[in-house]
A and B are shown apart, each in its own frame.
Chain A
């Protein structure tokens, strides 16, 4: 039941579902290229972003996506401290749902929070990042960026990707690695041992190494993760300089890349740490395309959840106490 109504993890979509979203994203990208990038597809729908954790780019990307489909948007921004657990979260969601919301876009520092919210509401729930668990729309926009940048409309089968950095604490890594592997990409995780998740193995990635230089000449995609300052305080990495020396994209490593290799980063970048060269000078860098594509992919996700049969038609009437205009079409 939740499969068609909400997007909680990219694994729920399966390879076919991912391809369906990426095909839809082609249509949305065409809308975004127009002088007036707006279509009436989701008129009358309301999308509410509920961010229990700071994020500007993801929230703006979702809200732009919703508006370009003519949906109405609401924002519920909370600081991490005020409302974070148990009954108060449930009360918050039920209160907003009672205003007639068709979809919640949720970010939360706790893994699994979107799934709980999904159980409390009849509206669609889109996970915009939960704890170390998942960030499915990032994975979809990454797959879409590889597909469009390498002209792989037929599929990503057989490509090779290295993902470098703090895989352990990264929901982006989990979701992007899972999506890429579902699409047939060979994924190598490159990280210091202290930053590998405990479950890393064949189920997680195709290969694991702590030597970036061993793989750098033989990949189609180099995916750099954000190196968070907190990890230094936890003594998981000796120093940022040491990290850059072993795992950063330096000018020497940039020269070792094959010419067509894409360089990707989920942002925000730590210049001088995981990326020690100016990405503007790297022909393969598609970091800004990732941001641009994020809007098209999120439009595709919203339309897939709210604009196809059985999904949006029921959700607006689901809030029991509120008579939503036009909700029962």
Chain B
């Protein structure tokens, strides 16, 4: 999957501070869009989105706690979409963390979180997975990096960074930054 000569072609596009700022900005946008955090559940798509969902959830909670009208704690969970993928049988499958959705999502606003948005197929699978747990009032999508090349009509609501890439590059994202190789 990686390029032939990763050392020569690796490029860091975001550093740890950039990631932290992106998380803070997305947290503000989530609060603004939903006029608070009532009924908001932040759900990371396993496994790349789980750490990001935890950071966004913690940041949302920090912002709300320091505001004039602190509310209930923000629920954070994770969903594993591997049993809902459309390429089962076509590629190796390694399950990551077991799905752990907090509480009842009927009527909640679910903010799905992933590290990198690419073809949109993982998000499609995650939408089906979430629907098996209940009927949210709305589902929104937050990603740290949108690298383009969508193959399905899926669009993020909150984006850390838009990053034009070519199809043969690979993008990795974590709390230490975002790297193209």
Closest Cβ of chain A to B10, distance in Å, is 27
Contact among A30, A36, A40, A308 with B84 in the assembled complex (CB-CB below 8 Å): A40
Minimal Cβ-Cβ distance residue in A for B134: A35
Chain A proximity mask over B77-105: 1 for CB below 8 Å, otherwise 0 = 00010111000111111010011000000
Question: A41, B84: Cβ atoms under 8 Å?
Answer: yes
**Contacts A27-B95, A27-B98, A30-B99: A39 and B90 contacting too (C-beta < 8 A)?**
no
C-alpha spacing A38/B133, complex, angstroms: 11
Residues of B within 8 A of A309 (CB): 89-93
Q: Is A195 an interface residue (CB 8 A)?
A: no
**Contacts A39-B132, A40-B128: A31 and B89 contacting too (C-beta < 8 A)?**
no
C-alpha spacing A31/B101, complex, angstroms: 12
Q: Is A34 an interface residue (CB 8 A)?
A: yes
Question: A308, B93: Cβ atoms under 8 Å?
Answer: yes
Question: B132, A34: Cβ atoms under 8 Å?
Answer: yes
Residue from the set A31, A38, A311 with the largest chain B CB neighbour count within 10 Å: A31
Q: Is A306 an interface residue (CB 8 A)?
A: yes
**Contacts A23-B95, A27-B95, A30-B98: A329 and B90 contacting too (C-beta < 8 A)?**
yes
Chain B proximity mask over A16-30: 1 for CB below 8 Å, otherwise 0 = 000000011011001
Q: Is A197 an interface residue (CB 8 A)?
A: no
Minimal Cβ-Cβ distance residue in B for A24: B95
Q: Which parts of B101-147 form the interface with A (CB within 8 Å)?
A: 128, 132-133
Minimal Cβ-Cβ distance residue in B for A38: B132
Minimal Cβ-Cβ distance residue in B for A70: B83
C-alpha spacing A110/B149, complex, angstroms: 55
Residues of A within 8 A of B91 (CB): 309
Q: Is A112 an interface residue (CB 8 A)?
A: no
C-alpha spacing A311/B93, complex, angstroms: 12
C-alpha spacing A329/B90, complex, angstroms: 8
Q: Is A313 an interface residue (CB 8 A)?
A: yes
C-alpha spacing A39/B80, complex, angstroms: 12
Q: Is A266 an interface residue (CB 8 A)?
A: no
Q: Is A192 an interface residue (CB 8 A)?
A: no
C-alpha spacing A38/B49, complex, angstroms: 24
Chain A residues touching B, range:
20 to 34
Q: Is A262 an interface residue (CB 8 A)?
A: no
Question: B92, A308: Cβ atoms under 8 Å?
Answer: yes
C-alpha spacing A36/B132, complex, angstroms: 7
Question: A313, B95: Cβ atoms under 8 Å?
Answer: no
Q: Is A217 an interface residue (CB 8 A)?
A: no
Closest Cβ of chain B to A21, distance in Å, is 11
Contact among B80, B83, B89, B98 with A311 in the assembled complex (CB-CB below 8 Å): B89
Q: Is A307 an interface residue (CB 8 A)?
A: yes
Residues of A within 8 A of B92 (CB): 308-309
Contact among A34, A41, A329 with B133 in the assembled complex (CB-CB below 8 Å): A34
C-alpha spacing A311/B92, complex, angstroms: 10
Q: Which parts of B44-92 form the interface with A (CB within 8 Å)?
A: 80, 82-84, 88-92
Q: Is A312 an interface residue (CB 8 A)?
A: yes
C-alpha spacing A1/B155, complex, angstroms: 42
Residues of B within 8 A of A40 (CB): 83-84, 128
Q: Is A42 an interface residue (CB 8 A)?
A: yes
Contact among B80, B88, B133 with A307 in the assembled complex (CB-CB below 8 Å): B88
Residue from the set B89, B99, B133 with the largest chain A CB neighbour count within 10 Å: B89
Residues of A within 8 A of B83 (CB): 27, 31, 39-41, 69, 303
A303-B83, A303-B93, A309-B92 given; name 8 further pairs at CB < 8 Å.
Answer: A26-B95, A39-B83, A39-B132, A307-B88, A309-B89, A309-B90, A309-B93, A329-B89
- What are 17 A-B contacts with C-beta separation under 8 Å? A24-B95, A26-B95, A27-B82, A31-B83, A34-B133, A36-B132, A38-B132, A39-B132, A41-B83, A41-B88, A303-B83, A303-B93, A308-B89, A309-B89, A311-B89, A312-B89, A313-B90
| Pairs A-B, 4 closest by C-beta atoms | A312-B89, A39-B83, A41-B83, A313-B89
**Measuring CB to CB, which residues of chain A are less than 8 angstroms from any residue of chain B?**
23-24, 26-27, 30-31, 34, 36, 38-42, 69, 303, 306-309, 311-313, 329
